[in-house]
A and B are shown apart, each in its own frame.
Chain A
Amino acid sequence: DADVTQTPRNRITKTGKRIMLECSQTKGHDRMYWYRQDPGLGLRLIYYSFDVKDINKGEISDGYSVSRQAQAKFSLSLESAIPNQTALYFCATSENRDTGELFFGEGSRLTVL
């Protein structure tokens, strides 16, 4: 089983719908992240959390929200999806130190029509 699991892996939805992407990890890491990947733009940070009580905005948080339900679970929500949120979304974890070594899930491909 993967250490960082994302669900769903693929989702097609319509403009205005609420969508939630879920992430769970078995690595025991406190730090969790949500990234978005678009062709030609690289990975961009949406939100991150250093522990259950800590939530921080990344560089592109507008239109997104997150919930850290437990150390192992971090979900990303789009309250009202729009077409330019069509992208590949990745959850990642890291150890409890200022490291750039991240462990990524396999991604959730979201299409907003």
Chain B
Amino acid sequence: EDQVTQSPEALRLQEGESSSLNCSYTVSGLRGLFWYRQDPGKGPEFLFTLYSAGEEKEKERLKATLTKKESFLHITAPKPEDSATYLCAVQKYGNKLVFGAGTILRVKS
């Protein structure tokens, strides 16, 4: 069965304190791995797509990386506005997305 597990469930950081969120998956025939950001009371917003092991994508203070078993979302020098829930999802060829439960990130000033 395809599974996506995100850790930690919640993370509290001080402003400027870099850290990483983890997304581990068990999927045969991975087509792509996707990261989304979700603000309270809003729908998820697409961040990145990663297709192959070793691939990296960056956007402002966020960098996503992919291995054969997991993906990391690295947050460098976070700011309070980075506070959100970060969702990971995987897609097999011809199949729909399977989402993880998310990591709730809180950045305090």
Which residues of A does B touch, CB under 8 Å? 4, 33, 40-45, 48, 58, 90, 92, 98, 100-107
| Sample (6) of A-B pairs whose CB atoms are under 8 Å apart | A33-B96, A43-B99, A58-B96, A90-B43, A90-B44, A101-B34
- Contact indicator B45/A45 (Cβ below 8 Å): no
Q: Which residues of B contact A (CB under 8 A)?
A: 4, 9, 31-32, 34, 41-46, 49, 87, 89, 91, 93-94, 96-97, 99-102
**Which chain A residues border B99 with CB–CB below 8 Å?**
42-44
B46 close to A107 (CB less than 8 A): no
Beyond contacts A42-B100, A107-B43: 10 other A-B pairs, Cβ-Cβ < 8 A, are: A42-B4, A43-B99, A45-B96, A90-B43, A98-B91, A100-B89, A100-B97, A101-B49, A104-B44, A107-B42
- For the complex formed, measure the closest distance between the CB of B105 and the CB atoms of chain A, giving whole angstroms: 16
B residues in contact with A90, CB < 8 Å: 43-44
